[in-house]
Amino acid sequence: MQPQGLQIQVSGKVQGVSFRSYCQKEAQKLGLTGSVENLNNGKVKIYAWGRPEALEALLTWSCQGSPWAKVEEVIPIPWSPSPAPSRFTIR
């Protein structure tokens, strides 16, 4: 199956709870590339690229997040990077 991209916006108590670090570890474990960043509005945005089943697994993970997170809403949006990212980073 061809790689796909997914942008995931996560809201709730997701900043200051190691969400980005845990997300990076999960994405790398799943073989995904992309990035994760804090937004000024208190949300976190994930950009992920890889196999559809790995994207689905990261989407499921993002509904829970890090052990200290309290996720309230997760919004997935298709994403088409150009060029495709080569690793998963924290911004």
- Residues classed as catalytic: 20, 38
Dist. CA 48–CA 84, nearest whole Å? 10
Residue 83, token pair as written in the block: 């060029």
| Burial status of residue 20 (CB atoms within 10 A of its CB: 0-12, 13-18, 19 or more) | buried
Dist. CA 29–CA 25, nearest whole Å? 6
